[in-house]
Amino acid sequence: MPFDPLTLIMLAVLALLVFFMFRNGRKRKRDQEELQSTIVAGADVMTNFGLYGTIVSIDEENNKAVLEIAPGTFITLHRQTIARVVDPVVDEPVAVGDADGDNLDAGEPEFGERTANELGESPDDEPRKGDA
């Protein structure tokens, strides 16, 4: 009894779904193992529920971690609720302005300022009558 083309397509799609399901599972497991290896005392972390803190200690046996969320404020939570290790943020250089606080880069409009292109004009056009 030969298989009809629709049955073959359905089996191929099912096989593809199973393949991607196993692949995503392995990737998720690898990412979790990588995270667990970076969770050490002194690391700044974020929990699954959005709380930031610094790891003070980790109890591997009981799967508990102690976080300091503010100076002198410690909480104990399950180690697997730590979602990620927070990398330190590098500040971007700030543009230097003149004495008035204006940006020296004249090409940038101020916040809310409309440019000639937004008004449908070319930069060389003169203002139309009625424009302020």
- What tens digit of pLDDT does each residue of 46-104 get? 999 999 999 999 998 998 999 999 999 999 999 889 888 887 655 566 555 555 555 55
- Kindly state whether residues 64 and 47 are assigned to the same domain: yes
Confidence of residue 36 (pLDDT cuts 50, 70, 90): confident
- Kindly state whether residues 13 and 49 are assigned to the same domain: no
The answer to whether residue 55 sits within a structural domain is: yes
**Per-residue pLDDT tens for 1-23?**
577 889 999 999 999 999 999 99
- Kindly state whether residues 33 and 57 are assigned to the same domain: no
Could you tell me the CA-to-CA distances from 4 to 7, 9, 12, 16, 70 in Å, in that order?
Answer: 6, 9, 13, 19, 66
Q: Residue 25 and residue 13: Cα distance in Å, rounded? A: 18
By CB neighbour count within 10 A (0-12 exposed, 13-18 middle, 19+ buried), where does 68 fall?
middle
The answer to whether residue 28 sits within a structural domain is: yes
Range of the domain at 47: 40-87
The answer to whether residue 105 sits within a structural domain is: no
* pLDDT for the residue 17: 95
Planar angle of CA 87, 90, 91, nearest 5 degrees: 145
- Kindly state whether residues 48 and 81 are assigned to the same domain: yes
- Kindly state whether residues 83 and 44 are assigned to the same domain: yes
Cβ atoms 43, 36 nearer than 8 A: no
Please count the structural domains in the chain. 2
- Kindly state whether residues 33 and 51 are assigned to the same domain: no
Closest CA to 40 of 79, 90, 75: 79
Q: Residue 19 and residue 17: Cα distance in Å, rounded? A: 5
* pLDDT for the residue 42: 87
* pLDDT for the residue 37: 79
CATH assignment of the domain containing 54: 2.30.30.100
Helices (DSSP H) in the chain: which residue ranges? 5-38
